[in-house]
Copies of this chain bind each other. A is one copy, B any other.
């Protein structure tokens, strides 16, 4: 028997604000950070790694919340726990005192994501499989038992969920073979940060085209003239056959979003991302009606499954951009995938930051193989930053994620990276 003996949480921050990587209309100077969780067992070979993602200040709040979230795990038998990750999730979520601080949103929910991500990593390692394969090998009933369906039964019943997961079973193997052949398609945001010069933008876009990307994304929303100039450059470089997406990072009110988009429509964006408050279901629905055929996308700040349920019910979005470190891990993400399938909305997960690509590739692969069965209108974000800190980094070839093969959720960072960038006492920060 192997038992969990400790759950440690680490405040790891990378100084990305120095290079303006990640700059957009709302977030001018983020330091990409992870509240990084390690689940320790009495076997030094058996550990689980997970994290949530933040952009700097306040990462310490998530670290402390994750430490508190993880306390009920201590003493549990590993094999019993990984065999019932739905039960583990419900046990952690049932802390009504911590629940008050959300419920199911903000710091305490980010901390749930970090801890449960580490539990899923532990489960996949224990099974000797990459996470996507662990999920693919689970039965529909096992998946639904793990999923958090609370508050969703007006949109998705348990029976419907099992039906969705059963429907595509006969062709699962074909889709795995398909992905092994060509990978899961991704798009790049590395070119389009707002803080980059026109020359750098042009150069990076050309590189993206050369690397085989068919989708690129630019940040917009700070200044209309700048947006028009940058989108013109983008179309010059990528042409009109490739897909151009734009992202306003929540800067607009609803009427402002509709008005601003009138001026950008000529560049035929595939989607406008985060046009307004991420909480505004009805606002997104109004924007979607006004800007069609331009699609509306949101989700990186989508706080929980109840919000996504409403986005689907209100027909408010064309693309669902769930985040692997904001939703409470696979348990909650399963529910969103299932609802997206039922309502016919493609899931194009948010990634970037630090480690989000490493996580999200597993989710998109699972979605295609087991839930959606389709790659149409599906493309997962990729940003080429900070992968060097991960033991099993994402590999992208020809604009597609290569299927991960190492056991786990790809969430483990190198010990040296954690030590160097731990805030504030790690070598990097201590020397500043």
Where the two chains meet, the residues of A that have a C-beta atom closer than 8 Å to any C-beta of B are 26-31, 54-58, 60-62, 64-65, 68, 95-110, 150-154, 250, 253-256, 276-283, 286, 301, 303-304, 306-307, 309-310, 313-314
Q: Is the interface of A mostly helix, strand, loop or mixed?
A: loop
In the complex, which of the residues B60, B107, B281, B306 contacts A310, with contact meaning CB atoms closer than 8 Å?
A: B281
* Residues of chain B lying within 8 A (CB to CB) of residue A153: 253-256
CA distance A62 to B100 in the complex (A): 11
Most B C-beta atoms less than 10 A away, residue of A27, A54, A65, A100: A100
Pair A107/B277 contact, Cβ less than 8 Å: no
* Residues of chain B lying within 8 A (CB to CB) of residue A309: 280, 282
* Residues of chain B lying within 8 A (CB to CB) of residue A281: 281-282, 310
Minimum CB–CB distance for A33 against chain B, Å: 9
Pairs across A and B, CB under 8 Å, 6 listed: A58-B98, A61-B107, A61-B108, A106-B109, A151-B283, A283-B306
* Residues of chain B lying within 8 A (CB to CB) of residue A54: 97, 100-101
Most B C-beta atoms less than 10 A away, residue of A65, A95, A102, A276: A102
In the complex, which of the residues B29, B56, B96, B253 contacts A154, with contact meaning CB atoms closer than 8 Å?
A: B253
Pair A106/B96 contact, Cβ less than 8 Å: no
Minimum CB–CB distance for A399 against chain B, Å: 28
* Known A-B contacts A61-B107, A254-B154, A306-B279; A26 and B102 likewise in contact (beta carbons under 8 Å): no
Pair B58/A108 contact, Cβ less than 8 Å: yes
Minimum CB–CB distance for A139 against chain B, Å: 24
* Known A-B contacts A30-B97, A279-B306; A255 and B57 likewise in contact (beta carbons under 8 Å): no
CA distance A304 to B152 in the complex (A): 22
Nearest 4 CB-CB pairings of A with B: A106-B106, A107-B107, A57-B97, A154-B254
